[in-house]
């Protein structure tokens, strides 16, 4: 169905007002596990703790593309199969309007050596699930336990 000029104007106006009055931010995180069942974690330069790799979804970008881009940028990893959606969480620690889309990325390859440290990533590594860094973020710990133990997912990061 083709929109009239007035409908297009009203739609644009509504979306613009909504963006400022009800703006929402959304990011992605990737659960990547190697052949020895070690999990990939990164430590950013701008926040304390270890996290799953990930970041913001850019305007006009879909979540699958964002997780693929973030893995490439942060860890030099390329996906060889589609990421699998695990859940969407509200990240109230950042903002009541922030959400995180968590993907399990079982099919991947190391396409290049990661350029670490850099401006964004201080360190990265694969960690045994029974020997995680002491300062892993609480949200990352919960998500890993939910995935590993197949327990109910809490809706808040």
Q: Collect all residues with Cβ–Cβ distance below 8 Å to 10 and sequence separation of at least 6.
A: none
**Which range, of 9-13, 130-134, 143-147, 148-152, averages the lowest pLDDT?**
9-13
Domains of the chain: 24-149 (3.90.79.10)
pLDDT of residue 52: 98
Q: What is the pLDDT of residues 121-135, one digit of tens each?
A: 999 999 999 999 999
Q: Where are the beta strands (DSSP E) in 80-139?
A: 84-90, 98-104, 108-110, 121-127
pLDDT of residue 21: 57
Taking only Cα atoms into account, the Rg of the chain, rounded to an integer number of angstroms, comes to 18
CA 157 to CA 154: how far, in whole Å? 7
Q: What is the pLDDT of residues 67-110, one digit of tens each?
A: 999 999 999 999 999 999 999 999 877 777 889 999 999 999 99
């Amino acid at each position: 169905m083709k929109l009239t000029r007035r409908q297009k104007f009203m739609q644009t106006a509504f979306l613009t007002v909504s963006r400022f009055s009800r703006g929402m931010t959304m990011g992605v995180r990737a659960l990547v596990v190697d052949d020895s069942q070690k999990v990939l974690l990164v430590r950013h330069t701008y926040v304390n703790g270890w996290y799953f790799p990930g970041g913001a979804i850019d305007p006009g970008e879909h979540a699958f593309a964002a997780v693929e881009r973030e893995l490439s940028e942060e860890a030099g990893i390329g996906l060889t199969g589609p990421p699998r959606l695990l859940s969407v969480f509200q990240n109230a620690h950042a903002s009541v309007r922030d959400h995180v889309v968590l993907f399990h990325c079982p099919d991947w390859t190391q396409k290049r050596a990661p350029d670490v440290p850099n401006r964004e990533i201080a360190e990265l590594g694969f960690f045994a699930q029974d020997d995680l860094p002491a300062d892993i973020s609480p949200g990352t710990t919960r998500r890993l336990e939910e995935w590993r133990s197949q327990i109910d997912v809490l809706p808040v990061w």
